[in-house]
Amino acid sequence: MIPTIWHPAYTSNAAPLTSTTKAQFVVDRAQEDKLIGLFPTAAPVLADVWKEIATVHDPAYVQAVQTGTPRELAESQLFTWSEAFADSVARIWVGQRSAVSLALAKAWPFVLHPVSGAHHARPERGSGFCTFNFVVGGFVEELTRGMRCGVIDLDAHFGDGTWAFKKRGGIYDHLRLFDLRAGEVNTVLSTAQQRGDYSSDIHGYYKTGDALLFQVHDHLERWLDATKLGCAVYQAGMDPYEHDAMGGVPGADKELLWARDAHVLNLLAERQIPTVVIFAGGYSTDVVDLHLGTIREIAQLSA
């Protein structure tokens, strides 16, 4: 079974989206199918957790999310603030750190942390239903030690918050980003790639499901070999799904997205890169089945 970091307090009614509720349904189904083994996170010492988050995000923003004041800043990601919501994002932060530590123990090929809502969160505020960039936060200890940590972001939308952290330099110079998102033109844009050097960051656009799959096959293997990552996070976004109202890429059906996941996961497993898999976007009525498909692909490699 896949080791899975989870806490039921992750979920809340902060928005009329599946972002803060879908994970519980996926976890319940995955448990029924005996695909995952839960590693419940301990209740965080909230004062210490908030202090830790404030070493990554700007302290004024962290204070706003913790207290709900000022409300405009606390809700800058478009969620409705509540004490339960604030508690949930602090717990997710702790959970991601636990997931990275568990992955680095290398007892399993992958660790699952079935949560969403990271890659639009910028250092100074939230955005696009993302409160804290727990993906970046989960790597801080490793980045401080100089380890190269990779983010493979295949959500339908650009991970602009993660890129904003990268632009800050310092320890974030050790981040390596591979980000493909839906767009009007099929292209991969990267100064490093134009030089024939894949050791830095890759980002690009695709307009069809076939183009998404082609770009993953054409570029990810070379990027992984060049970056020599010590650990990784795979954001297995399901909003490219052709029937998703917030992504909806033509031709991106369930089978294509699961084939995408199988290819990414196989490349990571072959290179023995400790990896945490998270969900990212996905808002269609099929979202539970879509995320379960990712879990089944992980299970096949973890058997």
Quick: pLDDT tens for 78-111: 999 999 999 999 999 999 999 999 999 988 889 9
Compute the mean pLDDT over every residue in the chain, rounded to the nearest whole number: 93
Beta bridge partners of 110: 275
Find where tokens 């996926």 sit: 26
Arithmetic mean of pLDDT, 274-302: 95
Short-list 81, 77, 82, 182, CA closest to 134? 77
| Side-by-side strand order, sheet with 36-40 | 36-40, 2-6, 110-112, 275-278, 231-235, 149-153, 175-182, 202-206, 187-189
Residue 106 structural domain: 2-302
Q: What is the pLDDT of residues 149-187, one digit of tens each?
A: 999 999 999 999 999 999 999 999 999 999 999 998 888
In the chain, the percentage of residues whose pLDDT exceeds 90 is 84
Q: What is the pLDDT of residue 47?
A: 79
Where does residue 112 rank: exposed (0-12), middle (13-18), buried (19+ CB within 10 A)?
A: buried
Rounded Cα distance between 236 and 257, Å, is 9
Tokens standing for 217? 């096959």
CB 125, CB 76: distance < 8 Å: yes
* CATH for 33: 3.40.800.20
User: What would the mean pLDDT of 184-197 be, rounded to a whole number?
Assistant: 72
CA trace torsion 151, 6, 133, 298 (10° rounding): 20
Residue 181 in tokens:
């998102």
Nearest to 286 by CA among 240, 251, 250: 240
Number of domains composing the chain: 1
Residue with tokens 């498909």: 293
| Model pLDDT for residues 4-57, shown as the tens digit of each residue | 999 999 988 876 667 778 999 999 999 999 999 999 876 666 779 999 999 999
In three-state secondary structure terms, 181 is strand
pLDDT at 107: 81
Residue 192's pLDDT band, with cuts at 50, 70 and 90, is low
